[in-house]
Amino acid sequence: MARARNPRSTRGHRLSVLRLGGRIERSEADLAGAFPSWRRSRGTSRFSRPLRAVFGLGAALALALPLFPGAAAADQEHHHGHDPAWTASWAASPVRGSEVPGFDCPAGQGLRGQTVRNVVFLSSGGPEVRIRLTNAFGAEPLRVGRSTVAVQDSQAQAVGETMRALTFDGREHVTIPAGEEVFSDPVDLDVEALSTLLVSVFYPGSTGPLTQHPFTAQTNYVAQGNRSHRPSGEGYGTTTCWMGVSGVDVAAQPRSTGSVVAFGDSITDGVDTTVDANHRWPDHLSRRLRSAEGSAELSVVNAGISGNRLLAERPGKPYSGIAGLDRLERDAFGQSAAETMILLEGINDISDDATADQLIEGYEQLVRRAHRAGMRVLGGTLTQFKGSVVWTPERESTRQRVNAWIRSTELFDGVVDFAAATADPEHPLRLRPEYDSGDGLHPNDAGARAMAEAVDLSALHRRH
């Protein structure tokens, strides 16, 4: 099976880096301007830089439209062919370091002489791993001291014999330039699918605002000093965010068939699912794939960002990430062995009064770009939100029109009818009561499981 190729992939000790550069040019008069973009340092692919809906309504939306000439060719060069070495097993889409109201994360002020122990849940396993560290939104070079990876025992405690030092081009220390991400060298560590790792990173100096992922449904840990190499969880306090880590790849197995990217907002991110239980809908989908008889090793990675909008960044809310259309290349196309995307995004756009026509045009651009990059897209229908603080009859009409288009268009490579799977039969504009977390918008654990069960597993595999 052909796989999407990741130019960063390497089994040798060569530092793999993403570098800032270039801009996306808009060609329509009604656009609000160009967004920053990213470029890989090894290859020509361009990387667009880039809570809840109740966090407030934004200003008018700027609709992202097709890339400038040459970007399609770059995407094709990036993804045509395949590299069998690595598969993305876990990911967290990065956002700017900032204070997040109501959440305990020091990323806004940054760290100084501290160790972060990130807790990550793997979708697939393998005999080797490599870790992606990020300074994607840093304003200055980020100095990384000693860092390790280990299998979690409990909380911040590692299984001692599994702890491995990370190196970067053979060195234990690395400085990540502003706007870049790096992969570690491969590490011999046999990890199982649906297992949990601890990725510990010591920052010896002052980081400044630290690139983060704030809404994790996961307890993570921070300690004073360098405790990265100590299996013990002693000395660690808790934090709500992931900091400085954006991905874990595993060495691909003979039966590996690539990775699925769940791309979306807080519903995909796992808001209001049980903390530390790994009950986000992409996690449930990973479990289904692992338990399916005769299923090949297909991985699922989560590219959801709470509060994220498809069409534009939310003013004053850096923790909601840049626009979905402006983070595609890094967060979706850039995942190792990425084959298929499941798209579920648009409720935050609707809550900020985007029109159906704007959303549909945004979806059309996204799918065209994904196809140029050699990636399939399954369109997810937008779930119910009547009963939430952002619902109005006008916004409901927009959701209905968008869902009708998703179900009927031939643009997508398939449809996942999340709305049908979660609707209350007696009140179809609302979530089923047993699936509602309590805010009328976010599914709970049972709702997330129902969403995963709505996915046709056969649709996740590329057909030849």
In the chain, domain spans: 1-83+254-464, 97-248
- pTM, whole model, 2 decimals? 0.84
The whole-number pLDDT of residue 129 equals 98
Confidence of residue 49 (pLDDT cuts 50, 70, 90): very low
More confident residue, 12 or 423: 423
Task: Give CA separation, 260 vs 3, 282, 327, 336, in Å.
Answer: 11, 9, 16, 10
pLDDT mean over 94-118 = 96
Residue 78 dihedral angles phi and psi, to the nearest 5° = -65, -45
Range scoring the smallest mean pLDDT among 4-8, 219-223, 399-403, 423-427: 4-8
Which tokens in the block code for residue 264? 């979306």
Please name the fold of domain 1-83+254-464. Rossmann fold (3.40.50)
Indicate the average pLDDT of the chain: 85
Specify the pLDDT at position 463: 58
Average pLDDT over residues 444-462: 95
Helix (H) or strand (E) holding 251: strand 245-251
Amino acid at 422: T
> Cα separation of 188 and 186, whole Å?
7
Q: Give me the pLDDT at residue 184, please.
A: 98
Summarize the confidence of residues 193-209 as an average pLDDT.
97
Q: Give the C-alpha separation, 269 to 305, whole Å.
A: 6
Residue with token string 């976010």: 442
In this structure, of 1-15, 254-268, 331-345, 403-417, the range with the lowest mean pLDDT score is: 1-15
Instruction: Determine the pLDDT at residue 296.
Output: 66
Q: What is the pLDDT of residues 356-383, one digit of tens each?
A: 999 999 999 999 999 999 999 999 999 9
3-state secondary structure of 36: strand
Q: Which of 63-77, 82-96, 107-121, 245-259 has the lowest mean pLDDT?
A: 63-77
Query: How much is the average pLDDT of 225-254?
Result: 96
Give the CA count within 13 Å in the CB-facing half-sphere of 131: 25
The CB density around residue 81, as the number of other CB atoms within 10 Å, is 12
Q: How many residues does the chain have?
A: 464
210 Cβ contact list (under 8 Å, min separation 6) = 97, 106, 107, 110, 111, 138, 142, 203, 243, 244
Taking alpha carbons only, the member of 334, 349, 208, 384 closest to residue 265 is 349
| Nearest residue to 42 via CA among 5, 72, 94, 67 | 5
| 78 burial via Cβ count (<10 Å: 0-12, 13-18, 19+) | buried
pLDDT of residue 203: 98
What are the φ and ψ backbone dihedral angles of 37, each rounded to 5 degrees?
-140, 165
